[in-house]
Amino acid sequence: MNRLLTALTAVALIFAAQSCKTAKNTSFYDARLATQMLRLPSDTTIYFAHYHKRYAQFQTEPAITPENIVFLGNSLTENAGDWGKRLGWSNTINRGIIGDEVNGIFDRLHQILPGHPKEIFLLCGVNDISHHLTSEEIASRMERVIDRIQAESPETKLYLESCIPINESFGRYKNVIGKTDQVPELNNLYRQIAKRKGVPFINIFPLFVEPGTNTLRADLTHDGLHLTQEGYDIWVKALHEYLKR
């Protein structure tokens, strides 16, 4: 399987240096990325080249251990870089993949859960919104992820984080036009799931909105979706305050 993934990654790098999902799996994460797709044999989910590249990279990294704190998510997580440096924590692992969605996370939990990490900070859902899934569909997928984490690594402390707002006015990502109010709708469903499952819910959404709106502050983003360094500073401060560390 590892050889297959390595070969697929090599093909992806030749034909599509970084690409996105299409149809319901279409990623909007970066306009610079190409559109060449890959499909794993006997798998109905289409993955883009960057997913395979990161997946293969994770395979070469030291195995996750019970001392590790895993940050699991999409571009917001990956683009943060070294979470340990940002937070002043040791043993952090960045398992974000640009463009990933909830099902993509589910499909790579086997790289994480056998190590029974100390904690997982999970944030995902905006890419799913861009794929025109309903909030109920996304929440159902997230519940499946949570169920698997709790079943396969019950020792792990899981934190579910809210999605951050978006700002449509930048006009860069057409698939999120008209979706501003879906983000807090999805967050509300996440909150309900977290309560049922006994999972702490960290609601960072309000920290990023323009007052009186559901819109991401323009000064905290460069494209309407991704955060500036000031945005990450706000996120990090919120984690410190929530966890009292």
Please spell the DSSP secondary structure of 63-117, one letter per residue: PP-TT-EEEEESHHHHTT--HHHHHT-SSEEEEE-TT--HHHHHTTGGGTGGG--
More reliable by pLDDT, 46 or 130: 130
148 pLDDT more than 50: yes
For 223, residues 6+ apart whose C-beta sits below 8 A from its C-beta are: 170, 172, 173
pLDDT of residue 142: 98
Instruction: Out of 23-32, 117-126, 224-233, pick the least confident.
Output: 23-32
Is residue 148 a contact partner of residue 109, using CB atoms and an 8 Å limit?
yes
| Percent residues over pLDDT 70 in the chain | 81
- Using alpha carbons, select from 165, 170, 120 the residue that is nearest to residue 146: 120
For 131, residues 6+ apart whose C-beta sits below 8 A from its C-beta are: 21, 23, 24, 25, 26, 101, 175
Band of pLDDT at residue 3, cut at 50, 70 and 90: very low
Instruction: Out of 46-55, 101-110, 196-205, pick the least confident.
Output: 46-55
Per residue in 8-21, pLDDT tens?
A: 444 444 333 333 33
Average pLDDT in the 112-121 region? 98
Average pLDDT in the 182-196 region? 98
User: What sign does the dihedral 130-134-139-144 (CA atoms) show?
Assistant: negative
pLDDT of residue 39: 38
Structure tokens at 82: 């070294």
Cα-Cα end-to-end distance for the chain: 40
163 pLDDT more than 50: yes
More reliable by pLDDT, 41 or 207: 207
Band of pLDDT at residue 46, cut at 50, 70 and 90: low
pLDDT of residue 218: 98
| Percent residues over pLDDT 90 in the chain | 79
pLDDT of residue 45: 52
35 pLDDT more than 60: no
5 pLDDT more than 70: no
For 104, residues 6+ apart whose C-beta sits below 8 A from its C-beta are: 45, 47, 51, 97
Average pLDDT in the 165-188 region? 96
Between the alpha carbon of residue 16 and those of residues 25, 31, 52, 162, the distances in Å are 17, 13, 12, 32
CATH tag, 64-243: 3.40.50.1110
Classify strands 157-161 and 201-202 as parallel, antiparallel or unpaired. parallel
Average pLDDT in the 72-100 region? 97
Q: Nearest-5° angle of CA 173, CA 179, CA 182?
A: 140
How far apart are alpha carbons 7 and 174 in whole angstroms? 33
- Which residues of the chain does CATH 3.40.50.1110 include? 64-243
Is residue 74 a contact partner of residue 101, using CB atoms and an 8 Å limit?
yes
231 pLDDT more than 90: yes
